[in-house]
Structure 1
Amino acid sequence: MPAQKRFPTDYPGVSFIEGKAVTTGKPERIYVIRYRKDGRLIEEKAGRQFQDAMTPAKAARIRSERIEGKALSNQERREAVQAAKEAEVNRWTIARLWEEYKAGKSNFKGLTTDENRFKNFVQPAFGSKEPGEIIPLDVDRLRVKLLKTHSAGTVKNVLELLRRVINFGVKRRLCPPTGFVIEMPKGMSMKTEDLDPEELAALLEAIEKDDHPHAGPMMKLALFNGMRKSEMLKLKWQDIDFNRGFINLPDAKSGQDEKIPLSVPAKGILEGLAHDGEYVFPGRSGARRVYIQRYVNRIRDRAGLPKGFRALHGLRHVYASMLASSGQVDMYTLQKLLTHKSPQMTQRYAHLRDDTLKRAAEVAGDIFSGLANGGNKGRKVVGIKNL
């Protein structure tokens, strides 16, 4: 400390210098303590009379604690803070690994989806931790928590992203591995939702009565064109080709750009929307909308649909189920319409097409049975046994 006159107090090793209060400029005592530690003479400020409510007795207690090693000296505290800062800079946390991982994936089609998964799920749970600090219980807790509100497929994608980021760091020797295997949910969700004609009519009526500018049209677009919520939220007018009747889906969930046909009802819905900016379903100030769930759930509830029915994704299932059960759309075409990455995801609807084919076969069987039983007298009938 600068050489200023020290005034002694009644406590050994405690003195004060005359200074001025920071806020008022009035005279204020600044208490100083002196003591030896590890053979070194240490002199440091204990605190200000008014600003720190410091007294000679309090300064003496601080001096005793530092002599006994119960508290760090000012210099030791500064060194500890600096060491902590340096250690933090050198820590490869999950958040830091993600930034490094992301930098090398700028052209990756699914990066936006991964960014949302990281921000919403991985960052809150593990962002501040290094891979070596994560234990199996941490992952189990996240898995159980997410499975309460999300599909097994979503949870699998979140955990897979966490595993990818950690593996990235391990391969580049930025961090040690976790020491355990991150287990995925046992199976993908194959939940297929459907509505009967009465439920569908009630839903369409509730949509017509709702006054939200985007909730109803988005539900109709999911029903009439099978679009995902994420695709609609980021849909831009430039992505719609009204003349050729197609919707372009840049960076689709499949990991590549997709194109789906625009059905006549869907075209009518889009043409009826206000064309005020870049996005078809804009949020505040014309920016990209990020939230719609509360409003579509309100319509679902007013229609009297089950609480477990997913207001947007469920309608995508209804769209797919209607096409599959029509018997007029094969599974490959349905896969393309739904922009499924693999045919396995589309196979959940195969039984609906099979049911339609079975009913058609039963109709043919009824016709032949009627013929065999003389149901069409006067006409020449070929015996079923000879077919």
Structure 2
Amino acid sequence: MATIETRTTDSGEKSYRVKVRLKGYPAQSATFDRLTDAKKWAAATESAIREGRHFKTAEAKKHSIGDMLTRYYSEVLPHYNEKEQKERKSKLEWWRQAIGHCSLADVTPAAITEHKAKMTQSAATVDKYIKNLSHAFTVAVNDWGWLEDNPVKKVKSPKLPRGRVRFLDDDERQKLLTACQQSTNKQLYLCIILALSTGMRQGELMGLKWQNVNLKDGFIILHETKNGERRRVPLAGHGLELLREHAKVRRLDTDMLFPGNVHADKPIDLRKPFENALAAAEIKDFHWHDLRHCTASYLAMNGASLAEIAEVLGHKTLAMVKRYAHLSDGHVSNVVASMNAKIFGGV
């Protein structure tokens, strides 16, 4: 219930002290120069408290962007792999420098847009900066109850160029595999086969440890991924056979599948052997990450749905795999033709 107390100064000026008391909640008070403002605040505050919104706003005033990021680093980032942790933190630190001193209650979409306009990076990079900040806000809203809404969701993302789809045709793939087999690096061929057959990211593949590999049933469990969720990766065919052979000659001084030559607890660096294999195979405009595009493209051309491709690659949504939709047009046409034959028959 709200009470309004009128106060008069010696000069005759009036002010209105409002107190809102609801059972089970701390009393709230504020002072206004106009009675109408006092009544509006009283009604709004009572409504917010009854609906559970008021104290979330109070939390937003108590915590700064810097507070949010510090807690995010300690509680959320550890769920991601080491590379993703570094990338996210570097981008979030830019926001800390720009608006870290601001309270969560004071951050508006307009303020974020203003700082976005100052960025000189590519549209894709700016988009990552915004998405990383948005995720921190989402956690603060959903998990910590520090504020009511995520202001970043109202910020318009920059227009992104069409996603790259570079995959090896049958001839290129065979040339690359032959070059890898002939490489002086004995791990390269196996790693390329696993990358092509599973769609694992380079960091996920190189960071594999034997305790996460089930050779008997044919699968790998990735505990640290780019999106922070565990993922089960199926192993089959040639890749599984090669990995079983690799297990017979595994090093006993490390748990890593592909340890470095100098430091056994660090993954092997295949950058130079991979570049040499590409040169030997005369393959242009191709990067390690494009092996992942190969997996997705081959899946699409072999009839996999976008949902299935997303599950294999470890994407939470279909947005990232829509770039492969055109490769499965034949499969989609067959589905439509089958449906029509079933419901219309020979008509």
Q: Which amino acid aligns with 1:228?
A: R
2:100 matched residue in structure 1: 131
Q: CA deviation at 1:183?
A: 5.5
1:238 matched residue in structure 2: 211
Instruction: Confirm whether residue 353 of structure 1 aligns to residue 331 of structure 2.
Output: no
SS in 1 for 2:216: coil
Aligned runs of 1:195-234 on 2, under 5 Å? 195-234=168-207
Closer/same/farther in 2, CA of residues 316 and 103 from structure 1, 3 Å limit: closer
Q: CA deviation at 1:101?
A: 2.7
SS in 2 for 1:280: coil
Closer/same/farther in 2, CA of residues 189 and 98 from structure 1, 3 Å limit: farther
Instruction: Confirm whether residue 334 of structure 1 aligns to residue 309 of structure 2.
Output: yes
Alignment RMSD, CA only? 4.2
Q: CA deviation at 1:139?
A: 4.9
Q: CA deviation at 1:120?
A: 5.0
Distance in 2 separating the partners of 1:290 and 1:101: 31
Q: CA deviation at 1:265?
A: 1.3
Closer/same/farther in 2, CA of residues 348 and 163 from structure 1, 3 Å limit: closer
Distance in 2 separating the partners of 1:322 and 1:304: 21
TM-score (norm 1): 0.54
1:159 matched residue in structure 2: 130
1:84 matched residue in structure 2: none
Q: CA deviation at 1:243?
A: 0.5
Higher percent of residues as helix: 2
Q: Is the 8 A contact 2:180 2:189 kept in 1?
A: yes
Q: CA deviation at 1:222?
A: 1.2
Q: CA deviation at 1:242?
A: 0.6
Distance in 1 separating the partners of 2:220 and 2:266: 18
1:102 matched residue in structure 2: 73
Aligned runs of 1:1-387 on 2, under 5 Å? 98-105=69-76, 109-110=79-80, 112=82, 114-119=84-89, 121-123=91-93, 131=100, 139=116, 144-145=120-121, 152=124, 156-162=127-133, 184-187=157-160, 190-273=163-246, 274-276=249-251, 277-283=254-260, 284-289=262-267, 292-307=270-285, 309-311=286-288, 313-327=289-303, 329-356=304-331, 358=333
Identity of aligned residues (%): 23
Closer/same/farther in 2, CA of residues 210 and 183 from structure 1, 3 Å limit: farther
Distance in 2 separating the partners of 1:166 and 1:330: 32
Distance in 1 separating the partners of 2:322 and 2:135: 28
Q: CA deviation at 1:310?
A: 2.1
Closer/same/farther in 2, CA of residues 206 and 359 from structure 1, 3 Å limit: farther
Q: CA deviation at 1:246?
A: 0.9
TM-score (norm 2): 0.59
Q: Is the 8 A contact 1:117 1:158 kept in 2?
A: no
Q: Is the 8 A contact 1:217 1:269 kept in 2?
A: yes
Q: Which amino acid aligns with 2:73?
A: K
Q: Which one has more relative contact order, counting CA pairs under 8 Å at least 6 apart? A: 2
Closer/same/farther in 2, CA of residues 211 and 141 from structure 1, 3 Å limit: farther
Q: CA deviation at 1:323?
A: 2.2
User: 1:224-249, CA deviations, whole angstroms, 9 ceiling, x for partnerless residues?
Assistant: 22211121122111111111111111
Q: Which amino acid aligns with 1:286?
A: A
Q: Which amino acid aligns with 1:242?
A: L
SS in 1 for 2:168: coil
Q: CA deviation at 1:191?
A: 2.0
